[in-house]
Amino acid sequence: MQDTQEAGNPLQAWSDQIAALVETLGRHVVAVHVGRRETVTGVVWRNGIIVTVAHALPRATDIAVTLPDGSDAKAQLAGADGSTDLAVLRLENPGLAPVALVDDASVRTGSWVLAVARGGHGDLAVDHGLIGRAGPAWQTWRGGRIDRLIRLDGGLGAGFSGAPVADARGRVIGIATSALARGYGIVVPTTTIERVGNVLLEKGRIARGYLGISTQPVALASPPLAELAQKLKLDPPQGLLISGIAEDGPAEKAGWLIGDILLELGEHKVHDVDALQAALAGDRVGKPLRAAVARGGVLVESAVTVGERPRRHC
């Protein structure tokens, strides 16, 4: 059989290129140890700054990190945002070269990508596959805004959450997480990392809007609610029934009552909880929004000033 190691063998050349690519990315990848058992991956975002996933770091303060050279270091949590599953760590001894990020706008469905993780013993691991779906900005189940949908074609192995995901040129398009979709890995794109990470470094958390209400969806199927739904062009014809109001909260100050049906908030039709969360994005905190509620079958408009969600409501 012909020696597969000979010069000019395209398969061997491809294999060598992939191994070199993994080695290059690995210079910017760390293992983040959570407790005694769990390990996730982090990537050097800036000098002395690691970006990783938030779901693995509940209330963490002192965190152990295994660096690319095999040494251990301490890191502290600078900020975390569960709604986008991003966390930022500060290393005690900076000096690692940051990874090169690329604009995720170039990502296409079907593109080949690889993810590089670092295991509990400091060794590298790699996985690869295709971008199963690429799409526009979307909202997570916890209300966070992800600037672009980048879904992998399968799930993530243990330890790959937080791993940098790179294209065939070795350009990092984001970090992987298993916490934002069932059965599939999601890539949190570089645009979201930059936007959310900067706020986390400055403030430690992302402000989330708060009205001080509990709600449940309700169909507007019978008169006079059906007529209101038609007038407001609600599709589907549905609103949020207010079943509870926090004392001295934004909703109470706006004069809302238990039994009101919230139909519109700002420019959003709030037919379900996801739509309400979209209307309460962090940049709305402290701003008055026009609101429309149905009360006794009559449309009532008011202004409500969005508050910042208390930590206990996260």
Please tell me whether residues 49 and 137 are part of one structural domain. yes
Give Cβ neighbours of residue 277 (< 8 Å, ≥ 6 apart): 139, 142, 143
Q: What is the pLDDT of residue 144?
A: 87
What's the mean per-residue pLDDT of the chain? 90
| Exposure on the CB side of residue 184, measured as CA atoms within 13 A | 15
Q: Among the three residues 171, 205, 239, which one is the final residue of a domain in this structure? A: 205
Say yes or no to pLDDT of 5 above 90.
Answer: no
Give Cβ neighbours of residue 193 (< 8 Å, ≥ 6 apart): 45, 51, 86, 101, 174, 175
Please tell me whether residues 165 and 114 are part of one structural domain. yes
State how far the Cα of 217 lies from the Cα of 59, in Å rounded to an integer: 32
Residues 165 and 114 sit within 8 Å (Cβ to Cβ): yes
Find the CATH number of the domain harbouring 73. Answer: 2.40.10.120
Mean pLDDT score, 286-309: 93
Please tell me whether residues 199 and 307 are part of one structural domain. no
Q: Among the three residues 174, 205, 236, which one is the final residue of a domain in this structure? A: 205
State how far the Cα of 124 lies from the Cα of 212, in Å rounded to an integer: 46
pLDDT tier, 301 (very low <50, low <70, confident <90, very high otherwise):
very high
Q: How many domains does the chain have?
A: 2
Mean pLDDT score, 121-138: 95
Say yes or no to pLDDT of 281 above 80.
Answer: no
Hey, which bits of 29-95 come out as E strands? 29-34, 38-46, 49-52, 62-66, 72-81, 86-91
Tens digits of per-residue pLDDT, 66-75? 999 999 999 9
pLDDT tier, 38 (very low <50, low <70, confident <90, very high otherwise):
confident
Please tell me whether residues 151 and 261 are part of one structural domain. no
Say yes or no to pLDDT of 60 above 70.
Answer: no
Q: What is the pLDDT of residue 3?
A: 54
Q: What are phi and psi of 166, to 5 degrees?
A: -120, 155
Domain that holds residue 107: 1-205
Please tell me whether residues 147 and 262 are part of one structural domain. no
Higher-pLDDT residue of 53 and 34 is: 53
Say yes or no to pLDDT of 311 above 80.
Answer: no
Alpha helices in the chain (DSSP H): 10-26, 190-203, 225-231, 250-253, 273-279
Q: What is the pLDDT of residue 68?
A: 94
Q: What is the pLDDT of residue 295?
A: 95
Please tell me whether residues 244 and 121 are part of one structural domain. no
Q: Among the three residues 205, 239, 272, which one is the final residue of a domain in this structure? A: 205
Mean pLDDT score, 199-224: 92
Q: Could you say which DSSP state residue 123 is in?
A: -
Please tell me whether residues 215 and 201 are part of one structural domain. no
The structure's pTM equals 0.81
Mean pLDDT score, 171-182: 95
Q: Is the peptide bond before 189 cis (omega within 30 degrees of 0)?
A: no
State how far the Cα of 154 lies from the Cα of 301, in Å rounded to an integer: 46
Say yes or no to pLDDT of 260 above 90.
Answer: yes
